[in-house]
Chain A
Amino acid sequence: MSECVNFHFDIDGDNFTSAGEASVRIKKHLRDMGFSPETIRRVSVAMYEGEINMVIHADGGSADVNVYVDRIEIILADSGPGISNIELAMQEGYSTAPDNIRSLGFGAGMGLPNMKRYTDSMKIESEVGKGTTIYMTVNV
């Protein structure tokens, strides 16, 4: 019996209007496994913010969700421009989103802070010019 199930999503960078769909799908899967509404919301919000970030800044990427009995891991990986100053990026209200994205209501500088707030641990690995990988865990 496997004690972990993996869900892999390719996040399409060309299609801004479909951003957020992986978050909707993971919600259904977690519901089918009987996780609590609170846990499902934390995972789906963290996923959602991550997806939006990858589409805005990195031309898409991939999301992997590993579900264990006691925790849910979310790994978001992209080959985008990287984050030059992670400390600055983690500050609420700091954003490098372009104007056209802001006009849609995004770019409030709450993406990364929200991902941290809704998860129990978060680690960012980023190299300028190479890409970014974010590891998050939500304990059950």
Chain B
Amino acid sequence: MYVYKHSVTLDIAKCKGCTNCIKRCPTEAIRVRDGHAIIKEDMCIDCGECIRVCPYQAKKATFDKLEDFADYKFKIALPAPALYGQFDELDDVDYILTALLECGFDAVFEVSRAAELVTEYTRRYMKRADVPKPVISSACPAIVRLIALRFPYLADNLLPLVPPIEYAAMLARKEVLETHKELKDEDICVLFVSPCPAKISYVKNPLGVKKSAVTGALAISDLYFKIRAKRKEIKDPQQLSKTGIIGLNWAGTGGEATSLLSDRYLAADGIENCIHVLDEIENGTISNLEFVELNACNGGCVGGTLNVENPYIAKARLRSLRKYLPISRNHPTEEAELPDAIFLDDFDKILLNTGASALSEDRLTAIAKMSAVENIYKTLPHLDCGSCGAPNCHALAEDIIKGEADEADCLIKLRDTVGKHGQ
């Protein structure tokens, strides 16, 4: 079985065993056992909510370092558009792109360039007659995994096109191989500069593409000070940016949806809002929608936990950066209406890779177990206090039946028992 490699991890030494994260996790993937948190890997969607809420910085994202790739002859940086929103008094993206070169990259390829192409292909895909509507964006990996885990019925609605990060890596390799005839594909490493752990997980788990063109993922926060220092030295930046308004807008909520030039869209952000919207779509209560853009982070990608700047400040900066830019600077040159390379392979497999939450594979056993869960649940206090280490009483009842917890873990029940004995 495929083992999903997570980027959200726990530093046990820092974890105090408080229950902040278990209550905040949207998929109930965290428990506190033996005084510290554990993450249930088959349930985690790498959204980063626990990183945001942990008061002790015990939850963190693992990412690659530029030094890890010293052996490659040629290094390409793939900056996410959210990166540009991190710097103040910036009036030209080229300062940041030139600074990336100064940091040790041999070339840069903006993810926003690929985003403009994905936008155009999405418009074409939406015009096809047999497309299940609303089409749901697959750009946020945390949302794709959330749909796989909690909303499998909506899996067919996911946009089956490669996300901009992957398409950018494919195009970047192609461009470099054409201009540097001495290089072979294996000499090149393509490193994504990521605003969030979910996209790092995407790089580690290249599902939906046979072989990802992205080699590794760095964190915006890790490169920030280096880029900032280099930028100050730059007097005359190279002309590198080839992005328009549409590409930059992808950094914030609504950027992808509005670029489709249809007003029948919904754009939401924040994981709880996204879950609510998906429930409504599943119930069929929102009609007439063509496209749904969902971002796990508040504000969109600028809200990812690997950024350094507040998402709304970053968004305001991006707004001033896009001034005087053309609407879009990247247009498909392929002859095909929708080239094969733009489609994800084995998309179904990504989605079949989940479902680990079932109590048993055998339905009769699962029903019997659920019945036992309900019986235990009835005896619990229904306070959902979290002091047992599970996010709520129902989750504790499930854990007890799975053999992972004990009724004595419930402190409220224990208190009542002790109280009775004392009388």
Alpha-carbon separation in the docked complex, A68 to B284 (Å): 26
A3 and B367 contact, CB distance less than 8 A: yes
A3 and B370 contact, CB distance less than 8 A: no
B364 and A32 contact, CB distance less than 8 A: no
B364 and A34 contact, CB distance less than 8 A: no
A94 to chain B, nearest CB (A): 19
B374 and A4 contact, CB distance less than 8 A: no
Query: What residues of chain B lie closer than 8 Å to A68, measured between beta carbons?
Result: 367
Query: What residues of chain B lie closer than 8 Å to A31, measured between beta carbons?
Result: 150, 357-358
Q: How many A-B residue pairs have CB under 8 A?
A: 74
Alpha-carbon separation in the docked complex, A23 to B367 (Å): 18
| B309 contacts the other chain (CB 8 A) | no
Instruction: Report the count of interface residues on A (CB-CB < 8 A).
Output: 31
B379 to chain A, nearest CB (A): 15
| A40 contacts the other chain (CB 8 A) | yes
Query: Known contacts being A24-B279, A37-B152, is A7 close to B374, with CB within 8 Å?
Result: yes
A115 to chain B, nearest CB (A): 12
Query: What residues of chain B lie closer than 8 Å to A41, measured between beta carbons?
Result: 153, 282
A20 and B283 contact, CB distance less than 8 A: yes
Query: Known contacts being A24-B279, A41-B282, is A32 close to B359, with CB within 8 Å?
Result: yes
B370 and A48 contact, CB distance less than 8 A: no
B355 and A34 contact, CB distance less than 8 A: yes
A5 and B371 contact, CB distance less than 8 A: yes
Q: Name the one of B355, B359, B363, B371 contacting A2, with C-beta atoms under 8 angstroms.
A: B371
24 sampled A-B residue pairs with Cβ under 8 A? A2-B367, A4-B367, A4-B371, A5-B371, A5-B374, A6-B371, A6-B374, A7-B374, A23-B279, A27-B282, A31-B358, A32-B366, A33-B358, A34-B355, A34-B361, A37-B152, A40-B153, A41-B153, A45-B282, A48-B283, A68-B367, A69-B364, A69-B367, A140-B363
Q: Which residues of B contact A (CB under 8 A)?
A: 150, 152-153, 155, 279, 282-285, 355, 357-361, 363-364, 366-368, 370-372, 374, 398
Q: What 5 A-B pairs come out closest when comparing CB atoms?
A: A37-B153, A34-B358, A5-B371, A37-B152, A33-B366
